[in-house]
């Protein structure tokens, strides 16, 4: 998909990977709805976009609320006249499942998996209504492809995103909508920094280094622009750069 003149909705666009991707989309001529529960962060991304000559709008969005997701997608058409791309990126991490008395693990599933399914469902509906080609990119993780003993619920949620996205490859032929997933390794984001500098450095040593949000944004742009990719899963790692896991095509 050629991005000039297109309109994208980026969840979690107020910081980290979402912000980097929103700005990368702007640089390629797209307009962006920046959706985030942190409206101040979303508005800052909009200001950054404006400073680069781009068009963006902020929208407060709790991705666990279907009505917020629907409003973010319809805002694309209301603000910019069309809706072409959804980057379902908002997510959380962190868990100690065996001492979790507050049910925090359920929140991880709700945000990292259930909300992605719901956002994809609503985005497909809106794209079909518009009658134009569409692209949906879902943020998974290398933890969705490999075991994570210290974060098994996070790993399970991200594995769900991977296979959910793979399973929707048929939409390319059915509705001219391409759904793909991206699996970053360890990325320097505000979410990750909350674990502390020592933990960041420890994990960085284990995986060979720490990626920047812009590294993931470049992968998202590639998945959007490459019309041959549907039901695909891109890995982004320090050692391997950007590559793809085994392709699964629709029956």
CA–CA distances in Å: residue 247 to residues 166, 224, 250: 8, 17, 10
Task: Please state, in angstroms and rounded to a whole number, the distance separating the CA atoms of residues 198 and 38.
Answer: 26
Cα torsion 72, 78, 80, 86: sign: positive
17 Cβ contact partners less than 8 Å away, ≥ 6 residues apart = 89, 139, 184, 187, 189, 213, 216, 217
Kindly name the residue from 83, 87, 154, 186 that is annotated as catalytic: 154
Q: Residue 32 phi/psi, 5° resolution?
A: -135, 135
In this structure, the chain runs to a length of: 251
**Residue 134: count of CB within 10 angstroms of its CB:** 23
Residue 154 is among the residues annotated as catalytic for this protein = yes
Residues with active-site annotation: 154
């Amino acid at each position: 998909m050629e991005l000039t003149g297109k309109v994208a909705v980026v969840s979690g666009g107020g910081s980290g990977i979402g912000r980097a991707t929103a700005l990368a989309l702007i640089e390629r001529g797209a307009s962006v709805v920046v959706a985030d529960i942190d409206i101040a962060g979303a508005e800052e991304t909009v200001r950054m976009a404006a400073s680069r000559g781009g068009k963006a709008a902020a929208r407060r969005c709790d991705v666990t609320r279907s009505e917020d997701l629907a409003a973010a997608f319809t805002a694309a058409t209301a603000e910019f006249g069309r809706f072409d791309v959804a980057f379902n990126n908002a997510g959380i991490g962190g868990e100690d499942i065996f001492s979790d008395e507050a049910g925090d693990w359920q929140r991880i599933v709700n945000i990292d998996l259930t909300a992605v399914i719901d956002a994809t469902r609503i985005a497909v509906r809106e794209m079909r209504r518009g009658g134009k080609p569409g692209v949906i990119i879902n943020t998974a993780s290398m933890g969705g492809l490999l075991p994570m003993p210290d974060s098994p619920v996070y790993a399970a949620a991200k594995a769900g995103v991977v296979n959910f996205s793979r399973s929707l490859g048929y939409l390319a032929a059915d509705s001219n909508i391409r759904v793909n997933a991206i699996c970053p390794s360890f990325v320097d984001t505000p979410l990750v920094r909350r674990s502390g500098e020592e933990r960041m450095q420890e994990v960085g040593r284990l995986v060979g280094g720490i990626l920047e949000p812009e590294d993931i944004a470049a992968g998202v742009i590639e998945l959007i622009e490459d019309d041959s990719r549907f039901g695909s899963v891109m890995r982004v790692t320090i050692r391997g750069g950007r590559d793809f896991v085994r392709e699964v095509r629709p029956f």
